[in-house]
Amino acid sequence: MCGGPLRTSDHRYSEAISRSWQELSDRDLRELSEQSGGSINEKRILLRMLNDTLIVDFETRGISSSDGRAVDDDIQVLLLHYLMRAEGKIDGTWCSYRDIEGGNLYYSVFQGRALRPLVREFGENPERLIRAGTLLGGIETRRGDASVDLQYFPYALVNVTIWKGDEEVPSSANILFDVAMSRIFGAEDLAHLSADLVEKLIAASR
């Protein structure tokens, strides 16, 4: 499902984007829309990403946000992989990052780019996670001291949880993924997705 180092160059992104578009070019637009939870507008698929809508133009092979902003290459890769592999439903069962194929290999990256920033930002004030998650379209859940379920994409459900520490135990965080995501994304993709989600949560909290 994944291999090699994390993407660190525009060249690697460009290659991944080009390969994904090539594979998608032979797929039926209506089927892609149904499987991904998007909607069709002429030669475009409109797809929710958290509290935004991304516009995927199959004629120009371009991706933009609803307000016309450019979408970063790493997010384009995630979106295209999602379109290629989404199953039209969630599984309803959670799995941890280590449960994902390759998760042990990339765990230190996942921890450094997602879990540690979560703890730094929300560990002392878990209630801020709920406010931020709600702004991104999430739903509060009963887990830890603060927990929220978020639909990164329509059938890509993520849970983010914070436990507040005390004098003896430090604050901690965890991110869980609906099992369907393990069939859509590899460990490398999920490290990027988690880091992007955490960045958006932090931005929404300020």
pLDDT at 47: 98
pLDDT at 11: 74
Query: Where do the domains of the chain lie, and which CATH numbers do they carry?
Result: 10-85 (no CATH), 94-204 (3.30.310)
CA 161/CA 197 separation, integer angstroms? 13
For residue 206, give every residue at least 6 positions away whose Cβ sits within 8 Å of its Cβ, in sequence order, or none.
none
Bridge partners of 96? 176
Provide the residue type at 104 as one letter.
Answer: N
Note the Cα 129 to chain centre separation in Å. Answer: 17
- Check if the beta carbon of residue 132 is closer than 8 Å to that of residue 205: yes
Model confidence pLDDT, tens digit, residues 115-146: 999 999 999 999 999 999 999 999 999 999 99
Which range has the worst mean pLDDT, 4-8, 52-56, 79-83, 131-135?
4-8
> pTM of the prediction?
0.91
Q: What is the pLDDT of residue 40?
A: 96
Residues 6+ apart with CB under 8 A from 120: none
pLDDT digit string (tens) for 48-67?
Answer: 999 999 999 999 999 999 99
